[in-house]
Amino acid sequence: MNEQTIAKDYANDMIFELQKAFWDERGKGAKFRLTTLGRDFFNSKCLPRVSSPEIPDMVAAIEGVLKESGIVMGMSVVIDGRLLRVRIEGCVHRPVEDRLATFDTKPLACLPANMITLAIDRKLNRPSEVAEIKLVDGACEVLIVLFEKKPF
């Protein structure tokens, strides 16, 4: 197996082009198709480290993996009832969102936030959804909505 890596700029260019093409095809509906981006990474790298059923602990475990992987510099979460307010600092994918903004396109996906929603679904059997992604001072502020626990 080849262990060679590719440049971040190249990867972000490809992610941008894919998201932009998806936006051009589906508009706002594209964001609902991007919710599982990162699932394989989550299952192989994050899930083994998520042991606590407490959301702040889940976020901390995911943050640890993402920091070690060079994807983010930091993450924090504030829980407000059924709302999670997540701040993501220094994300390697932020240039993608900045480029989308030049086309008056709101951010469509946030891989770190997807990891959190996947953890909540897996560990708490509770659906959640990324409702909003704001680009603020070099960071992303993500609003995640928690729904009631699944009946099964």
Domains in the chain, please, with CATH?
8-146 (3.30.1380)
Residue ranges of the chain with pLDDT lower than 50?
A: 1
Q: Give the torsion sign (CA, 125, 110, 11, 5).
A: negative
Which DSSP letter does residue 135 get? Answer: E
The whole-number pLDDT of residue 2 equals: 59
- Read off φ and ψ for residue 59, nearest 5 degrees: -60, -40
The whole-number pLDDT of residue 152 equals: 67
Phi-psi map region of 111: left, alpha, beta (phi>0 left; psi -120 to 50 alpha)? alpha
- Read off φ and ψ for residue 88, nearest 5 degrees: -120, 120
Q: Are 145 and 82 in contact (CB under 8 A)?
A: yes
Which DSSP letter does residue 54 get? Answer: S
Outline where DSSP puts E strands in 24-150.
74-80, 83-89, 128-136, 139-146
Q: Give 38-65 pLDDT, tens digit per residue.
A: 899 999 999 999 999 999 999 999 999 9
State how far Cα 106 lies from the chain centre: 15
Q: Which amino acid is at 119?
A: A
